[in-house]
Chains A and B, each alone.
Chain A
Amino acid sequence: MSSLTFQELILELQSFWGENGCVIMQPLDLEVGAGTFHPATFLKALGPENWNSAYVQPSRRPQDGRYGENPNRLQHYYQFQVVMKPSPADFQERYLASLKRLGLDPLEHDVRFVEDNWESPTLGAWGLGWEVWLNGMEVSQFTYFQQAGGLECLPVTGEITYGIERLAMYLQDVDSVYDLVWSETPTGTIKYGDVFHQNEVEMSAYNFQHADTDHLFTHFDFCEREAQRLVALDLPLPAYEFVMKASHTFNLLDARHAIGVTERQRYILRVRTLARAAAQSYVGSRAKLGFPLADNDLAAAALAKLVEEDRS
């Protein structure tokens, strides 16, 4: 079969997971380092409510920019994110079926689940799982969330993150991400490079050379204050937006090497503190609504637990 174009790959994954009961969402309109930051993963992983969703998320990693000169490294790339809560018993099998849907025969290609535990210090989150190897190449990350925002996850969210550029490079057999066929159009082939090469060059220059660090430091402080203020106002969703902004600002400062090693730890801790506060506030806000998307027994148990914590 002829291999999928980049956009077909996204569309296939969307329809596959849509058929698997996921709410297909659109990317978050803020800069984030990974699909996990999207409220549809991080916040939905909290509390007892059920949630199944899939979406593409542009991910920004300022430090990974290479001015468009490295065939594999990008400061802006895509993740395809799937979350299922509670994680279904056949989650791995569903994932493997999705690879088949993309045209990968697991009797020809060597697919393996290799231990890889995930931790996000900034989100106060961790989980256990694997990286999925396709002929030795990591193409996805598979995680069972155990904690998010410092809170225990129950039910557990199962998360799959596809590195779709890598997968596409594999399927299309190209060595440079910029050679990926994004789409065949009546006016010709549009490649990944046509869409994003200039962006990589310019954004690398900005990230590494021109980002105004003085202003970014101030901006970080501002985001921190806003997040705190909004948590105090019981507005967890806007508060969480400022957590994400603070996190991205930190990433920009980091790319500029503006933060020393120990200072770095302190900044991570500051973001984590905000993420925890927003997470707690979010759970509180859902509790007020009675955890409408939860199974009755789990909703009742979670509410009872919150009442007990309030008392002690």
Chain B
Amino acid sequence: MSSRTVLFELGVEELPAGEYCAMADALADALVTGLTNNGLAIGKSRVLATPRRLSVLITDVEESAKDTEQAVLGPPISAARNAEGEWTPAAIGFAKKQGIAPTDLHSIVTDKGERLGTIKTVKGAVSVDVLPAIVSQAVNQIPVSKRMRWGRERHEFLRPVQWLVLLYGNDTIDLSLFGLNASRTTRGHRFHGDQAVELESADAYEETLRAQHVIASVEERKALISAQVKALVSDGECAIVEDDLLNEVAGLVEWPVALRGTFDTAFLAIPRQALISSMREHQKYFHIEDQNGALLPAFITVSNIQSKNPQSVIYGNEKVIRPRLADAAFFFDTDKQTTLASKATRLEGVLFQRDLGTLADKQRRIANVAESLCSNLGADPATVNAAGMLLKADLVSDMVGEFPELQGIAGRHYALHDGETESVADAIEQHYWPKFSGDSLPLTPEAAALALADRLDTLVGIFGIGQSPTGSKDPFALRRASLAAIRILLRFAPNASIDDLLQEASASFDEGVLAPKVVETVKSYLLDRLPAHYDEQGVSVDILRSVTAVGTDSFGDIDSRSLAVTAFAGTDAAIALAAANKRVANILAKVNEPIGEVNGALLREPAEIALSDALDRSSKCLAAAVAEDDFPKALNQLALLRSDVDSFFDTVLVNSEDQAVRLNRLALLQELRAQFLKVADLAVLAR
């Protein structure tokens, strides 16, 4: 069977650099699925994408799929002939519908008994016939983050669609989408290429485009950019090529040409983050460091043309970055003309949230709460106090106004400039840490106290005024704040009482501002974030439930229990004991009368005596292990009960006719359950 390459190209006006790759991948997946669902054998698929085109090449797509045989079922064999052995009307009707004589029907055995039927040959799909529908469906499956319309029609896509190419080998296939007809005409590079380029065949696609100054492969463009960037730095220099930026830059060009520019050395006095921000966020430049990691006054930009005069492009880019850096330098200088302390007074005029007061109010609350956390975290109160008064002051600086991502970093520079200590400066900078999931935690206990107080203040405050996050809307980033608080607590104050912390944070608000029960609300929100926190550590939601069911005093406690139960959960003993716990819990749940203590005199069966003895023995060791927070040991202790528990359930009938004996057995089970609940509610883990 012969086969050919399929090419589909969707030509568009420039797509967002952050999205086009995923779109092309989805298109390719959907095309492959479409072809295979039609029974067509295919070779390899290759995804090609540039800002102006999403393309998929699929090699060796067979011209038509093999014919298949399909059973067509008629009436049950028992209803095929009447008593006289003649065909029944049902059988005749079925045969007629199939266009064959009843004698050509035969018996087919199915799950539901023997049926009269026939085997039909189904023609295999023909590529050129099914491709238009497959492509249309695949295009519909491209994820489009924000749909837009253009012109006067109602077609929708992420940017206006300009042209379509659909080739099967050398042949075009008719397809109409977005009001356009597919052809073999693609377009070259906007400036270096031709506006109409005839493709001879699907296989010639990549090379035809290359001749048109279009590198269609994303990976190839990325490799090219990396190599070009490297070639522009000399020994002892290092161009910082981060993946995110590389991906973005590759999404802005079809014909990458890296060029190196410089800026005035004087700008190096500005905090490096501001320089990097200016270069990376605004201009998509790669920055360059020396051997010691110090920033060099240079940048690398990637243009989309092989300029007749590359100096023009470099000159232009230098001209853009200069005023940006001049702005940053200007902000940095003017900011330093007033102290952080004086900036802090301006926080009185900046609202944090209408019901929760100004940033000055927030800063005061944070400082108060952080101070009370000092003993818990082993932080120096004097440093916490000093940093606490300046914490948010850089938010009114011009620098942070222009570069919001410099919050904290700017504060650090200004604090040092004002003669504050390193530790105060550290605390100001690091109280924003962790900035995102996986970011590093504050390094000092002082910074941690402030960071924690800040998170708790936001959580208690925002929940307290009823602005809890809903669905995907979380404008105050409470999820992130919660996860940060949990991480900071686990590192710096694992044993701190969650209730006390939240109580403390809510007490710093004026009376009547927060809704009642805010502590409970925030606590349960925090506990609900645990699965996200433990996601990567393999602690399951069920294990967290089993642990929080028995106690939620501190995150350290939850943590050590969860990790112990996780390690234990895989064992045979765990599975058996989880089932036993569930059984016991179910039995106890149905008991209405009061259950007393175990009475040794009422124990009769050997298995119940043995279980009672075992519980007595384990009780002390268990209590000791729990007191030391040694939960693995406690679980090992409990695991020893397994055989006694098993034989109890195998041989003893809890529901004895003797009421006293029955209650005594229930008391025994209650004791068993109580011992387990000292660690976790294993019943939750039962399958």
Contacts and interface: CB of A to CB of B under 8 A. Distances in A.
Interface string B292-324: 000000000101110111001101110111110
B479 interface: no
A108 B308 contact: yes
Nearest to B148: A128
Nearest to A89: B151
Contact of B160 (A109, A134, A144, A155): A144
B350 interface: yes
A136 B320 contact: yes
Nearest to B354: A262
B13 interface: yes
B364 interface: no
Contact of A108 (B13, B14, B312): B312
A203 to B, nearest CB: 20
Interface residues of B, number: 46
Contacts of B252: 112, 114
A144 B18 CA distance: 19
A40 interface: no
B305 A295 contact: no
A298 B152 contact: yes
Interface string A145-163: 0100000011110100000
B372 interface: no
Given A113-B13, A113-B14, A128 B159 contact: yes
With most chain A CB atoms within 10 A of its CB, the pick from B18, B149, B321 is B149
Given A92-B13, A154-B149, A262 B351 contact: yes
Contacts, number: 117
B146 A117 contact: yes
A20 interface: no
Interface string B464-492: 00000000000000000000000000000
A126 B151 CA distance: 16
Interface in A97-150: 105-115, 117, 127-128, 130, 134-137, 144, 146
Interface string B1-41: 00000000000011111100000000000000000000000
A251 interface: no
Given A89-B151, A135-B320, A175-B319, A262 B307 contact: no
A170 B316 contact: yes
Interface in A250-299: 257, 260-263, 295, 298
A110 B307 contact: yes
A144 B305 CA distance: 26
Contacts of B283: 136
Interface in B32-68: 51
Contacts of A127: 148
B233 to A, nearest CB: 19
B353 interface: yes
B313 A110 contact: yes
Contacts of B321: 136
A208 to B, nearest CB: 14
A92 to B, nearest CB: 6
A135 B190 CA distance: 15
Given A114-B252, A128-B159, A170-B316, A106 B149 contact: no
B154 interface: yes
A87 interface: yes
B316 A135 contact: yes
Nearest to A71: B323
B14 A155 contact: no
A295 B152 contact: yes
Interface in A2-29: none
Contacts of B320: 135-137
A115 B17 contact: yes
Which of A72, A112, A127 gathers most chain B CB within 10 Å? Answer: A112
A193 interface: no
A169 B192 CA distance: 26
Contacts of B309: 108
B316 A158 contact: no
A224 B313 CA distance: 48
B313 A144 contact: no
Given A137-B319, A154-B154, 17 more contacts: A106-B191, A107-B307, A108-B313, A112-B252, A112-B304, A135-B315, A135-B316, A135-B317, A135-B320, A144-B149, A144-B160, A146-B148, A156-B152, A170-B319, A175-B319, A257-B349, A261-B351
User: Which 10 pairs between the two chains have the least Cβ-Cβ distance?
Assistant: A135-B316, A155-B152, A115-B16, A110-B303, A86-B152, A113-B14, A136-B317, A261-B351, A137-B320, A128-B148
